[in-house]
Amino acid sequence: MADAAAAATPEWATKEPCLMGIDEAGRGPVLGPMVYGCMYCARSYNDTLATLKFTDSKTLKEEQREELFESLKVNSSIGWEVDVICPKDLSAKMLKRSKVNLNEISHNSAMGLVRKVLDMGVLLAEVYIDTVGDPEKYQIKLTEKFPGIKFVVAKKADSLYPVVSGASIVAKVTRDRALRNWVFNETALNMHMKTGSGYPGDPDTKQWLEDHKHPIFGFPTLVRFSWGTCTPFFKDAVEVTWESDEVDEDATNNGRAKRQVKLSSLGFTGFKRKTEEIESSGKGRCKFFQARKLELVRKFQ
């Protein structure tokens, strides 16, 4: 994405103590990426920053956000970065065996931006963040991770601190452009981007999901298929079973057995994991593999 990467580290950022704001865009929608953005400047520039009309991006029209984003991009006293988390990655983390919830994904993204800016050589002294979850616990978590930095974690930080307002504009415009320029990997006919707001309660979004579901392959990669919104669309989905490539070390068959699992049981359509994992070395193994005496081979002699 053309705007996903900012310029090189400004010289002033390596010489003066800096403050940074962090905010996200697209946490709630069932469609598109979640984007975390940060904006930083020298501490001495903070008073000037307050005059630049940055405010919570949700209160601005799209044209205003675009204009402000372009202005901060050419402002030599400001630096910025983004972390774009695609729908596929969000769902994969939330549905894997060791699940990562959305709050933890958000925390990791924010901490990743702090680490990235530090690695760039920025003299980061203060960081202001719009909270996710309990503000006090989040602040403690950040302080323990980065003990040399002062963290301020607050609700509605994007409307309280101009540096967070700027980060909110960076995140929101980056997400909007990602959606506007989205290119489908899928090749089905009649696909379109008339998605509505992307939020679960939007009738246009629900209609888009209905129009773009597939009984076997699910949704296009634009969709966060781990969202509960997706579940009702696949009540009549085709059940798919495949031979697992993983070896279950805890199985009873000499300590090793493969597993056979159903696609829906892994949460592809939003259903909870079922307990129908079957030892494929015995009765449960797919007849196709049994009849042909086929085994998974990892090493060749």
Annotated binding site: 23-24, 130
Token pair listed for 186: 């899928």
Q: Taking Cα atoms as reference points, which of 281, 299, 279 lies closest to residue 290? A: 281
Q: Taking Cα atoms as reference points, which of 188, 207, 187, 189 lies closest to residue 197? A: 207
| DSSP letter, residue 43 | G
Cβ neighbours for 67, distance < 8 A, ≥ 6 positions apart: none
- Written as one letter, the residue type at 280 is S
Phi, psi of 37 (to 5 degrees): -125, 150
SS3 135: helix
Residues placed in the known binding site for a divalent metal cation: 23-24, 130
The rounded distance, in Å, linking the Cα atoms of 115 and 119 is 6
